[in-house]
Amino acid sequence: MLLSVVANRVGMALLTLAGVAVVVFVLLRVVPGDPVAMMISPGAGPADIAALKAHYGLDLPLPQQFWIWIKGVLTGDFGTSITLHLPVTEVLASRLPATLELAILALLVAVIFGGSVAIAGTLMRRTIGETTIDGLNSILLAVPDFIWALALVLLFAVAIPVLPLTGRIDPELAEGFTTRFYLAESVLTGRFAVAGDIISHMIMPTLALALPLAAVIVRLLKQSLKEAMLQDYVLLARIKGFRELRLVLQEALRNAVGPTLALTGVQFTFLIGGTVIVERIFAYPGIGNLAIDAVINRDFPLIQGLVLLFGLIFILINIGVDLTVAALNPRLRHA
Amino acid sequence: MFNITRRQALAASGGLIGTLLAPSRFATAAVGSTLNIAYNVNLPSFDPQVGPSSVNPTIQAIYRSIFDQYIGQKPNLAFEPGLLTGWGWNDDKSKVWMDVREGVVWHDGTPFTPEDVVWSIQRKGKPDGGNPVAFIWAGLDNFKIDGKRITADVKSYDPVIFKWMAFLTGYVLPKAYFEKVGPEGFEKKPIGTGPYLVDAYEGNAYLRLKANPKYWGGKPAFETVVFKFVPDATSRVAEIESGSSDVTLEVPYEEYDRLKAKAGLKGVCTPISDIGMIFITNGGVMDDKNVRLAMTHAVDKETIVKRLLRGYGVPIATLEAPEYAAFDPSIKVPYDPALATKLLAASGYSKEKPVKFTIQTTRGFKPKDYEMIQAIVGMWRNVGIDANIEIYEIAKHFELRMSHKLAPAAFYNWGDAIGDPTCSTGFAMFSKSPHSAWHSDDLDAKIGPLWGEKDEKKRIQGWKDVDKYIAEQGYVLPLLQYAQPILYKSDLKVTPNVSGALQPATLVSKA
């Protein structure tokens, strides 16, 4: 039973990725601009243009180009980046850890901050405190991540210049890493001064990504908690004399968190998408920043690889959310 | 379970606080032995000979820090010896000779040799090698080395071949090392003969360079240079204003004016070899000379530069900026809306019955590009031209231009860091070029003979005559020469480069 469920999910994932591969391949050839047009010198003649196209394999019929590419993908070879002159898999592997660390930290901040505010709002329900929280949360909901990024730049990098603005780490400290998971590696190897520097670089981009997600969590979780607090089992617990905080945390939260968790998973995929602009603003070397350059330069192999990678990440996040929700709610395990 | 001790937590906090309070962070902090540059583009590739990066003008400052060119270039675009100490043609221009600089070593300590020069040219000239200007380098063949002198046959004469040796892809790479490590290996650990060695690099983040102690041109002013790749203009402004970086460039002119007045910062904004222009595509209403000339005479370039660009820019009448070899100050296309109205009337157009066409433009690709076109369309409307603005991405512009499908009018910028007319008027206006918009036999007949003209004086005069003819016919609408804003800490000295390449080794020093 479990095996068939897993097989089904894997099959659906592969089918989705296949669809994504076809769509991105076709779209890139349809949209205006190709890498040769971007780099061709003004004095070049038709023969020079043809030679460049042949050099990058763009002179072949489209089905043949697709077959060559997809054959490589199935064997783990995503081609060579036209702009970076490096294998696409290598480039993605070198940039993904930065985005993952940023996204996971943003998710943690969003969950902790959003969850705490939602719980606080529930405890303060029907008071001026709840109204204040709702009002401030409305502002958080209305402001997108890139506006937060610019506001944080102005506040903490210009007006009160206490945070480093760009990059992931002070270039003078970027030595001796074995992996590209700089934060995790520096913590695990005890290089806490370096970890502190990395965190200082991550504060602004993390907040820019986390605040919109936190606002969604506050809105949904508070509503779910308020509904759960009206249930009979909570009433029973209150009659037994349990304190309000215990009622919220131990009685209501477990039942209320399901919908929030599911939506957080969906919103997390948007957060990953949000890294594109946020990484650009903070010159953060993740896959988001890489994607912008790839699109500007029409680096077809790199764009194709990035889109597949994003697709895979979204699929894995959705599977993770489904499993987590099922773990918390036994009624959903056999759905 | 991973436990953190109190000491470790303090160390982490110390690292965080130390970063927050680092003295170098503040704008008024003096520059030490490390120069931090908030640079406006990323460096995708270390190979300056092939691929899109090799023809990206904005990356040349980085390449010139690591590699040397055959021929060098001064900030005023004049040429000087580089890795070649002498060069020239024989009398009938059937051969070239090049004298190679002696005593130069690569960053790995191996000697630089004439073989490296020959190999670099041959690599770039291969039609399937990926060099976007292979046709330039393929014009030389049959190389012979005699001591420090290289000679080669001229397969196809190009009067600008030596200027290209100071231009895009005109860099020398190490033959032995490159063949040993291959293209991928070179990307991961590049070496050159330049004033700086690559110390550390993270794409889309930074490039850290260390001074080359054995550089033939003398040790640079800074021991370490860090290029921070900050493509977002707002972030670059914040970098310099907060003191996180010591130099930055290409910020909005309004921010430039605000920041250069701040304590601890200085600025310089001078014209560079980059011009703004409107391509005119032959066909339709553009075949009417009255319409074309009316378009040009109706544009008040002085006001556009003064009001939109805060005075930073130089109005131009041809595709030659004042520093270019074929610049002719006598060619003028005055702002004359009355004349424009009269020209249009002669073709049956008026404000009530305007001539209509589309003008394409980017938005945000160049400073105030869209706003300039809006202003121009407004000026045109006053004389009887009704232009519809279409915004597109720069990639679409390149594709349309290559297939000769641009709109009747299209805004673009054009760089020519060697200031030679072939690279501006020539490539922009010769119909055989994939990048020209105006195609007509009369213009081709004038330009054609100049490609192979061996008399340099006659060649330059020929180009001046072509520019004059183009202005008389209204085949293109040159607008302005751009100026490049550079901001820097006040204890630095920055020499602006007309080519736009902010080379830290030679152009930035302590005041």
- Convert the pLDDT of each residue in B166-222 to its tens digit: 999 999 999 999 999 999 999 999 999 999 999 999 999 999 999 999 999 998 999
Torsion of CA B82, B199, B222, B250, to 10 degrees: 80
> Comparing A328 with A208, which gets the higher pLDDT?
A208
Residue for token pair 């000379």: B289
Chain B nearest C-alpha distance from A184 (Å):
12
B11 touches chain A (CB under 8 A): yes
Chain B nearest C-alpha distance from A147 (Å):
12
φ/ψ of B481, rounded to 5, equals -100, 130
Give chain A's largest Cα–Cα span.
87
Average pLDDT over residues A27-33: 81
**Is pLDDT above 50 for B26?**
no
Q: Which residues of B touch A170 (CB under 8 A)?
A: 19
Helix (H, G, I), strand (E, B) or coil at B177: helix
**Is pLDDT above 70 for A1?**
no
> Which of A207-211, B2-6, B61-65, B156-160 is the least confident region?
B2-6
Pairing of strands B71-73, B34-39: unpaired
**Is pLDDT above 60 for B3?**
no
Residue type, B284: G
B264 touches chain A (CB under 8 A): no
Where in B261-403 does DSSP place strands (E)? 265-280, 314-315, 355-361, 385-391
**Is pLDDT above 50 for A28?**
yes
**Is pLDDT above 80 for B13?**
no
Question: CB neighbours of A269 closer than 8 A, spacing ≥ 6?
Answer: A313, A314, A317, A318
Q: What is the 3-state composition of chain A as percent helix, strand, coil, each rounded to the nearest 5?
A: 75, 0, 20
**Is pLDDT above 70 for A114?**
yes
Structure tokens at A6: 């897993």
Neighbours of B155 (CB within 10 A): 13
Contact B381, B488 (CB under 8 A): no
φ/ψ of B234, rounded to 5, equals -60, -40
Average pLDDT over residues A269-294: 91
- Region of B135 on the Ramachandran plot (φ > 0 left; ψ -120 to 50 alpha; else beta): alpha
Confidence (pLDDT) at B24: 43
Structure tokens at A228: 């759960």
Structure tokens at B78: 């004049």
Q: Which residues of A touch B406 (CB under 8 A)?
A: none
CB contact under 8 A, B427 and A42: yes
Quote the CA–CA distance of B331 and B336 in Å, as a whole number. 15
Quote the CA–CA distance of B123 and A280 in Å, as a whole number. 35
Could you say which of A154, A171, A188 has the minimum Cβ distance to residue B226? Answer: A171
Residue for token pair 């056999």: A334
Q: Cβ-count burial of B493 within 10 angstroms (0-12 exposed, 13-18 middle, 19+ buried)?
A: middle
Quote the CA–CA distance of B92 and B79 in Å, as a whole number. 23
Confidence (pLDDT) at B51: 87
Supply the Cα-derived Rg of chain B in whole angstroms: 25
CB contact under 8 A, A42 and B400: no
Neighbours of A243 (CB within 10 A): 10
Q: What mean pLDDT is reported for chain A?
A: 87
Torsion of CA B332, B337, B343, B346, to 10 degrees: -170
Quote the CA–CA distance of B300 and B338 in Å, as a whole number. 12
Give A 11-70 residues with CB within 8 A of chain B.
Answer: 32-35, 37-49, 51-52, 54-56
Contact A41, B132 (CB under 8 A): yes
Q: Cβ-count burial of B31 within 10 angstroms (0-12 exposed, 13-18 middle, 19+ buried)?
A: buried
**Is pLDDT above 60 for B2?**
no
Contact B419, B321 (CB under 8 A): yes
Reduced 3-state DSSP string for B106-127: CCCCCECCHHHHHHHHHHHHCC
Starting at the earlier edge strand, list the strands of the sheet with B149-154.
Answer: B84-89, B95-100, B149-154, B140-146
Helix (H, G, I), strand (E, B) or coil at B90: coil
Quote the CA–CA distance of B115 and B175 in Å, as a whole number. 7
Quote the CA–CA distance of A278 and B402 in Å, as a whole number. 34
Helix (H, G, I), strand (E, B) or coil at B92: coil
Pairing of strands B476-489, B385-391: unpaired
- The nearest alpha carbon in chain A to B259 belongs to A158
A205 touches chain B (CB under 8 A): no
Q: Cβ-count burial of B495 within 10 angstroms (0-12 exposed, 13-18 middle, 19+ buried)?
A: middle
Q: Cβ-count burial of B291 within 10 angstroms (0-12 exposed, 13-18 middle, 19+ buried)?
A: buried
B431 touches chain A (CB under 8 A): no
Quote the CA–CA distance of B257 and A286 in Å, as a whole number. 33
- Helix H or strand E encompassing B508: strand B508-510
Residue type, A131: T
Quote the CA–CA distance of B207 and A144 in Å, as a whole number. 31
Q: What's the N-to-C CA distance of chain A in angstroms?
A: 12
Confidence category of residue B25, pLDDT binned at 50, 70, 90: very low
Return the closest-CA partner of residue B368 out of B295, B313, B294. B313
**Is pLDDT above 60 for A334?**
no
Confidence (pLDDT) at B10: 61
Return the closest-CA partner of residue B496 out of B318, B323, B325. B323
Average pLDDT over residues B419-425: 95
Confidence category of residue A173, pLDDT binned at 50, 70, 90: confident
Confidence category of residue B20, pLDDT binned at 50, 70, 90: low
Chain A nearest C-alpha distance from B184 (Å):
6
Give A 235-294 residues with CB within 8 A of chain B.
Answer: 279-286, 289-290, 292-293
Chain A nearest C-alpha distance from B424 (Å):
9
Residue type, A266: V
Neighbours of A30 (CB within 10 A): 7
Confidence (pLDDT) at B478: 98
The tally of CA atoms less than 13 A away on the side-chain side of residue B200 is: 17
Give A 210-229 residues with CB within 8 A of chain B.
Answer: none
- B41 Cα distance to chain centroid: 12
Give the tens place of pLDDT for each residue, B94-129.
Answer: 999 999 999 999 999 999 999 999 999 999 999 888
Contact B216, B193 (CB under 8 A): yes
Return the closest-CA partner of residue A114 out of A133, A142, A100. A133
Quote the CA–CA distance of A87 and A89 in Å, as a whole number. 5
B102 touches chain A (CB under 8 A): no
ipTM > 0.95? no
Structure tokens at B43: 């460096």
